[in-house]
Each structure stands twice: as structure tokens, then as C-alpha cells.
A = this chain, B = another copy of it.
Amino acid sequence: MYIKKQRLLTPGPTPLLPQALHAMMGSDIHHRTEDFRKIYRAVLADLKEVMGTSNDVLALVASGTGAMEASVSNLFSPGDRVIVCSAGKFGERWAEIAKAFGLDVILLQEEYGRSVSAQRVADALKTEANVRGVFVQGSETSTGAAHDVRAMGQAVQKTDAIFIVDAITGLGTMPLDIDGWGLDVVIGGSQKSFMIPPGLAFLSISPKAWGFAETAKLPRYYFNLKKEKKNAANGESSWTPATSLLLALAEALKYVKALGMDKLVANAEMLASATRAAVTTLGLELFSPGCPSSSVTAVKAPKGMDSGVIVKEYRSRFGSVIANGQGSMKGQIFRIAHLGYFDFPDLFAVIAELEIILTANGFPVKFGSGVAAVQNAYAEVALAKEAAAV
């Protein structure tokens, strides 16, 4: 155990796609040239293609939170009433942003580990007057819980409100029929399923949402979606673009297109399912068993053990970086990610490491038993399919 490779296995930043990383070296390029415009146009077109939408897709030099703010500041006016679904740290962030910009927030809160039901959203839309927008996380990264954005979208679609989905970890880990389900704004980030470093956010904007932009009166300057749309049509960004990240994203999108967005989602779903099987085999409890996200699996530490010890020993024993709980969940849960550039060999190792860490800390498990659960998950899909094909 002298050599310990640093393996970044968190729910963002995620493992980097090598060819995307290498492409960053080509960033001795000026952004106001036809060479760059060609790349920028291709990136926006590819994003639109993998997101599977006819809506406009724009990119911003920002982390995902910047695009969250942009969707508030560009589409609403002071005092607008909005519904915020909150079941974790990122739901709370929606509420914080909305309040910072003076919106009138109707908070639909759920405790950590659960998700806000689509029925609650539908009910609130009926009982509350003048709701202009509904905000939610597709996947709540802090708790590993997924929201039923399809059913929520159907409820919002019938109203005059727009539906804004933080799909920063949802994109590439859950099916999202943006146009069919009425997802007016869908937000993504570069450092998630897109397999490149942080620094770029992007969002799709429906015609209904653009209508809101026409009347929105909140102050804005850097995040100006209308300006961004106008410039994007000319292959330009409003401000200096993050060229290295865009070059990386261009490569990553080639990979995702070749793989297929549906396969990227299926990959995350299989790994998430295998992880749930493995940790429950090891006697651990899932934190969000009722609404598990495929982007990240949150697992409760054994009774009497701080989850920080697990996170720390992943690093100290093996070099692996996994995520602790966030906020009040710190020390309670640890999180194993599946979004983006993750594969079965990653998971074999992550579970083998977990077995050792538990055993080393007075929670002995049968070595190999969790790994076997992952192998069985692989076999059920892959080997069964091969047997059927013979």
C-alpha cells in the first residue's frame, strides 16, 4: 500500500475523460476568431443534441450555481411568487437565490433523504395564487435523492408558471425528456456527467421561459441570457469564454455522442443499482432508499461510526476521494458517485476498499461479499444478455 493513486470519485468534480483533459492543451487560441467560433457553435449544437431538446442551449463561464442564479435573475421580477422544492442542500440553495433576488418563496420542504412529491407541487399550484415558477433538483446531490420531474413537469405545464430544473447531476444520470415533459429551464455543469473540470455551466431555455425573459425586471449584467442568445447565434460568448474548458467539452461531447446519452444514463443507473446491492449486502443502510438517484448513492455510516472516518480512510489507505455528507449530514453519511466517467472496475475497487475500511474500524464484513454483489449486478445484465443471444 505504498502507492496510492489519487482517484477522484466524487459526485463532482468527476473523473476526467483523458482525451478531454488533453484537449485543454490546445487553448492557445483567441476567442474572437473564426477558429474559435466554429468550436463554440459545435459545442452548443452538441449540447443541444445530447440534452435532446429543441430549446435554445446556452453556455456560461460559471459553476452550476451561476446558471441557477441566471435562471432567477433573467426570468423573474421582484416579488414574483415561486415554489421551491427543497430536500437537501441544493434545494436550500434555490431558496437562498430566490430570496436574495427578492422573490416570494413558497417552500415545499422535505427532510433530508426524502424527495418532494409531484403531488405536493400539483397541490401547491392549485392552492397558491399567481405562482410564476417552480424550482427543483432533478437529483439532489447532497442526499442522493431523485425528484419525479416528469410528473412535476406535467403539473406545471398546465399553468402559466415555468419549471426550472437543476439537472447539474441529473443530466446523464436520469432520463430527462426536456421538451416532452415541459422542463422550461434545465441546468447542467461541466464537472458532472460531462467529465471535464468545473467552470462551465449551461442551460436550455424553452419558448415559454423566453417569454418570461421579456418582462423580467430583476437586475442582471454578467448573466444576461438574451444577450448570450444573440451572441451565441454568431458563435460568440458575451464575455471572455473559458477556452480550455470549451475545448475539453468539445472532446467530451464527441465521446458522449458516440456512446449515446441513453447509454450514459443506463451506465449510471446500473452502477447505482449495483452500489445499492453492495452496501446493503454489507449491512449498511441507504440514506434515500425511497427515491434513489443514479448520480450518487448516499449511505449511512454504521451506528457509532463517523462517516468522516470512512471518507478519510478511503484517501489515506487507497488514495480514493469519495464524498462525505454535506451540511448537517456531515459525519452521518458518505456518498459514492456514479455520474459521468465511472465504470464497473471503479466500483469493484470502491466496494473492496469499503469492505477493508469497515473491517479495520470494528465493523467486520466478509471480504469480497460486497464486490460479489456488484459482480452479480454485472452478470445479471451482461452475462444474461449474452446467454440469451447464444
A interface residues, Cβ below 8 angstroms from B: 1-7, 15, 18, 25, 259-260, 263-264, 266-267, 270, 317-320, 341-346, 348-350, 352-353, 355-356, 359-360, 366-372, 374-376, 378-379, 381-383, 386
By beta carbon, the residue of chain B nearest A319 is B343
Report 16 cross-chain contacts, Cβ distance below 8 Å, ordered by A residue: A1-B270, A1-B381, A2-B264, A2-B270, A3-B259, A5-B343, A5-B345, A319-B343, A348-B352, A352-B352, A352-B371, A355-B375, A359-B383, A360-B379, A366-B372, A368-B368
Asked if B343 and A346 make an inter-chain contact with CB atoms under 8 angstroms apart, the answer reads no
Query: Smallest CB-CB separation from A18: which chain B residue?
Result: B6
Chain B positions within 8 Å of A378 at CB level: 1, 356
Among residues of B, the one whose C-beta sits closest to the C-beta of A271 is B3
Q: Give the complex CA separation of A372 and B264 in angstroms.
A: 30
Q: Which chain B residue lies CB-closest to A320?
A: B345
Set of chain B residues within 8 Å of A345, measured between Cβ atoms: 5, 7, 318-320, 349-350, 352-353
Please determine whether B367 and A344 come into contact, CB atoms closer than 8 angstroms.
Answer: no
Residues of B near A383 (CB, < 8 A) are 356, 359-360
* List of B residues within 8 angstroms of A342 by Cβ: 3
Min CB gap A14→B, angstroms: 11
Using A2-B264, A353-B348 as known contacts, say yes or no to A372 and B367 having CB atoms under 8 A apart.
Answer: yes
A343–B367 CB distance below 8 A: no
Q: Which B residues touch A25, using CB under 8 A? A: 25
How near does chain B come to A247, taking the closest CB pair, in angstroms?
A: 14
Complex alpha-carbon distance, A353 and B319, angstroms: 21
- Judging by beta carbons under 8 Å apart, are A382 and B317 in contact? yes
For the complex, give the distance between the alpha carbons of A314 and B4 in Å.
23
CA distance A371 to B345 in the complex (A): 12
A7 cross-chain contacts in B, Cβ below 8 A: 345
B381–A352 touching, CB < 8 Å: no
Instruction: Contact check, A371 vs B343: say whether CB atoms are below 8 A apart.
Output: no
Bound state CA distance, A319 and B2, in angstroms? Answer: 25
Partner of A343, one of B3, B344, B360, B370: B3
Interface residue from B3, B18, B318 paired with A267 (Cβ < 8 Å): B3
